[in-house]
Structure 1
């Protein structure tokens, strides 16, 4: 059991109607002392705890660390910054001024090696998960704690909830992972077996910049005057020695092996109440894990909520805070607030004008789903409700923009909500090929319908990926609407031979009006929106349609293997199709 660092001092003050304890020490089993900020009611009556553990530095204000995201949130969602001084608003964690008055303690822990916690940085590692487990137990055994700890937060602070819940800390009572992956391999590192550069770039921009020991370059906490990243100033060599090389680690593990398994959820072990909140536009990292977690977690008390908008704002809105608080009131306070009577699936149904209609459902996929196959026809190239009568081929440069298959204008309004998939018959001139699938929708005047996604303002309707040599399916976990690939080994292609590929396309939701077209683009590289790009201050690359979730590292897509010619076969014995989850009108 971790202790509180013995006699190590920490500062306490009463401010904004809260008792705030800055830099509280929590000693881990190996002697490393992590640091936490605790915000709690002034009364000493025991209260439940909302905890986060992560690498973004508890002393770095949201507004200072992520200015472009803050400005957009405050402009577009004014309720996020209302009713609070915003003094303690931090990136992707709860605002204590909106929780402490309702009888909660909020605990923020700087993860090992970041902010004011010393040690070696190794994101999502078993060491971090053990630290998080022990921090939960520390919080659950304080005099001011009721003994019930809930986890809440966005992205990183959602991902590691799945991990630590798999360890079953005794004082963990409920989790609310908001837009966070749960499978380290499939959800973000190797989508369809194709390596994403996201984690490597994210590490440079958002973790190394607040590593313990960067000194004055990390800035000072405006609330305490302390250095945000610890009182030591380490040399560049010392800093490098105190962190893993995350990009190299991921590149060294191109298949789903022990490295990825120990950084992913153990679904059978997760039995606490779960409120999993995902984003329709979070295709690169903030969608699949939330749906998979809802479907596969062993908990008998679990709910799925799906919404749109940008990645961070909705969490802080009145809608988001009320949703989270009602869930935790039920499972951390035993309040009889009718939470269990809510539908298991709570959807924000998306429309082409970027408005949303709330709707409850009983299960995922939706029980009313009418699974609809649209067959590819190379002669069009078209999407047809019946298979093409004759064989056809559509080829493209394997690293190019590919070929697009489209329906005629729809004759009636059509809702598509749920997981998608494609079965493609493909041949390659080389021993492998990467397939990038993009589901697109076009208005009657041929303008593409895109949305503000989790990060990119021009996010398409749905995306899927598959490296052809990873085509083997898991026969137990695969379904027609969610092909599941073990990604345990590569099975090279015989050039010119036709192979049957089942490709997962991540879930989506859209009510498509009559007169609009649905298209499937089969590409050899990441989708690029033809309009203007955008930028966020915390990201390396411009946002051109896929946000920071790109697959453009030449070391992963080597010349001679991935730069040949790819052919899609249609019709006859090669009846390639797109599977859509069509929801009947009510």
Structure 2
């Protein structure tokens, strides 16, 4: 079914529900938006499970309202009829000579089959969609991948398979190491994926018969077939249960982890400073480890969907794709490889570029934890210790105020000497900012409006390091086995704290909190319509599963641990900080 649609920028040809046959005979469905011209054009393609016919405004109402109220340019110049969650608005791209292709992934929206997120079958499907799009009569043979989060994560995977017609990728805030960046932070299970699948995928699963109809074409968002509850369950892998079952970094994650070194196409990797737990590490690691000789890293702030749609984000994407999909000599290849929006304490950002990551000129500084004074100092000092209850407030160490501005940009790592009254300890490290009035300063995060500037996690029984992959500022844990603690014995552990960026004016100071649970903001919680939990500082990225962490099982509570942090002397616990001087 096709239709010519008039937009503010001119005519656009739309083809709904185009069949795309896979190598096993399954037929997926895609929508194609393209110029009214016989001249072949480049393709921007997205492939994912959110229902290509579900309007952004309907499926993600509060996110849309926040986006357009705070960034009105997003709504200007487009009818917004074709806006969908985390993918490009064709009214913005077709007038510039692009075809936009949106494909419902297998089992979702109007594509039948079984949902198995990020599986080899799903990535093979995406490979075939790329090759289909690159060989149509209206395509110039160059396909670029665009989209946020899920639509970004699959880009890393499929690019490593090297589809012949894939010409460039722009993974916007998407992980590539599912275990470390989405399901198990430091070996601790995140319950996010369970709620995400229920709220955002099952609601648009093929055949669920919810009655969602596209106002544009009159088609059911979830296909014309209505399946019963048993059939629906059989047509999806239980994502949350799979992650609970696979507690270590085993073959399940290995087959979903791309070989980044195989990526050859140009890469624009865009991360989010506020994306601890989902939307940052993968973009940085992907930039560093991808095999492409043409790659750029951009990091911004605000909600994880915002800058993709703003004038800033669209201009950046268009310049990148114009260069690699259209062959325009627009100066993109002269850009520095690292582009940052540097975060200020008032919530604003300054633009900065660099030639490498971590930034050249970084003054790596060890700040030692002092149990007696509660300070972060540059001298390890005498031996001491401080204890806290696992579900209590933890312990906090403060960096003294500075008379000069202080910049912290880059990854951090925390070496702790700890003991526990039980055979394990879940360690949560939170970097915090304290204002001159003693009040904590939080920042808009990717998913929570009140986030700390950085977080890190480690289950002490997962403390084993991979010496070949570990770096001083980024310890790497293989997560292959459990090494229980002997109660009362002191163990050395290294915690990866995800990268951060903050400029502290005089009078502001940094603090480090070590505790046994997720960070919580002290003010009122927030809510998004597409999330099942209140947002209390860590968004939906929580670590409170009663099986993975029995202390949360109210029916059979496990004894909470008392954890002791040992400092100074022979146990010099310390935080490695990336200061920038001058």
Question: What band does the TM-score fall into relative to the shorter chain?
Answer: over 0.9
1:11 aligns with 2:2: yes
> What do residues 525-580 of structure 1 show as CA deviations (whole Å, max 9, x unaligned)?
00001011100000000000000000011100124877211110000010001111
> What do residues 110-138 of structure 1 show as CA deviations (whole Å, max 9, x unaligned)?
00001000000111111111100110011
1:569 aligns with 2:566: yes
CA distance in 2, matches of 1:486, 1:510: 30
Secondary structure at 1:185 match in 2: helix
1:504 maps to 496
> What do residues 124-157 of structure 1 show as CA deviations (whole Å, max 9, x unaligned)?
1111111001100110110100111000110111
CA distance in 2, matches of 1:262, 1:562: 37
CA distance in 2, matches of 1:454, 1:264: 23
CA distance in 1, matches of 2:60, 2:145: 23
1:378 maps to 371
1:513 maps to 505
Secondary structure at 2:64 match in 1: helix
Which ranges in structure 1 are unaligned for 5 or more consecutive residues? Answer: 1-9
2:38 maps to 44
1:87 aligns with 2:84: no
Q: Which piece of structure 1 moves more, 253-262 or 559-568? A: 559-568
Matches within 5 A, 1:218-367: 218-367=211-360
TM-score between both structures, scaled by the size of structure 2: 0.97
Matches within 5 A, 1:571-586: 571-585=568-582
2:44–2:99 Cα contact (<8 Å) kept: yes
Shift of 1:303: 0.3
Matches within 5 A, 1:402-551: 402-551=394-543
Which ranges in structure 2 are unaligned for 5 or more consecutive residues? Answer: 552-556
1:456–1:546 Cα contact (<8 Å) kept: yes
CA distance in 1, matches of 2:571, 2:88: 51
2:28 to 26, 29, 34: 34
2:130 to 122, 132, 136: 136
> What do residues 205-234 of structure 1 show as CA deviations (whole Å, max 9, x unaligned)?
00000000011x141011110111000011
CA distance in 2, matches of 1:412, 1:574: 31
1:399–1:562 Cα contact (<8 Å) kept: no
1:11–1:23 Cα contact (<8 Å) kept: no
2:157–2:258 Cα contact (<8 Å) kept: yes
1:557 maps to 549
CA distance in 2, matches of 1:489, 1:13: 58
1:101 aligns with 2:79: no
Shift of 1:15: 3.7
1:401 maps to 393
2:2–2:13 Cα contact (<8 Å) kept: no
Secondary structure at 1:410 match in 2: coil
CA distance in 2, matches of 1:193, 1:518: 26
CA distance in 2, matches of 1:400, 1:555: 20
CA distance in 2, matches of 1:363, 1:397: 41
Shift of 1:14: 4.2
Q: Measured at CA, do residues 212 and 584 of structure 1 come closer, stay the same or move farther in structure 2, by a change above 3 Å?
A: same
1:176 maps to 170
> What do residues 342-376 of structure 1 show as CA deviations (whole Å, max 9, x unaligned)?
11000001110111110110000001100011100
Secondary structure at 1:99 match in 2: helix
1:179–1:277 Cα contact (<8 Å) kept: yes
1:80–1:313 Cα contact (<8 Å) kept: no
Secondary structure at 1:206 match in 2: helix
CA distance in 2, matches of 1:450, 1:218: 40
1:387 maps to 380
Secondary structure at 1:293 match in 2: helix
CA distance in 2, matches of 1:458, 1:342: 33
CA distance in 2, matches of 1:302, 1:28: 31
1:122 maps to 116
1:7 maps to none
CA distance in 1, matches of 2:80, 2:449: 26
1:210–1:218 Cα contact (<8 Å) kept: no
1:180–1:290 Cα contact (<8 Å) kept: yes
2:554 maps to none
